[in-house]
Structure 1
């Protein structure tokens, strides 16, 4: 299998710079053989891809793209911690928070934006456990927030 960043390049993507924290936390933390990321917002080039809620101002397509960007930002946090994404043995867990209206129930489909990207990048090692949770609001009015746990 190709190196993770080669796969991203084939997809027309790349690992961005680590998004600076918006509050009192660090982007990632290594403990033993695991890296835990803080929740990552869909920031690209210093701005949110979209704002608002799924089922409201944000379309499902925009939500999926936001989840993918969150996953890229989580990979940036992992890479900053270990230097090389090829050291990732497996993606263990993905938690996706989806800001949504009370009647929106397609959170798992939105979370697929992150999950499918991680599967493409890491192959079988990208298969993971996951939670997709609907919430009333996220920081900065982001539509999606994603955190991951990887084993190295």
Structure 2
């Protein structure tokens, strides 16, 4: 039970930080780059984009990521506001989403799928060493929570 709570809190913190980063980008922040072109190449990865997505779209993504963090708190037993069945369903959906997102990168890398001719090299590099592994770790954390009796 204690490990589940630690994993739930860790997932919450990680996902909250990612959500806050999206809010920052939504309001025009450029970190970790110096200009919009570099940011697009690094976080969107499609060289056809001329500008970042509109603020409303970025804020929706931030809210969804933050909600995933809340699901981790609920499933780990730290909080208990929502019905168990809803949280269980959300947990399995998040496992699927994060696992597919993480594994899709390695389908490209292994040659099972071709990469887009518009994919930036910066994005491909960070995707392989940071984004995809993080998604797989998040999926593993949710899988741990889903298979443990925590609430």
Taking structure 2 as the reference length, the TM-score comes to 0.31
Higher strand proportion? 1
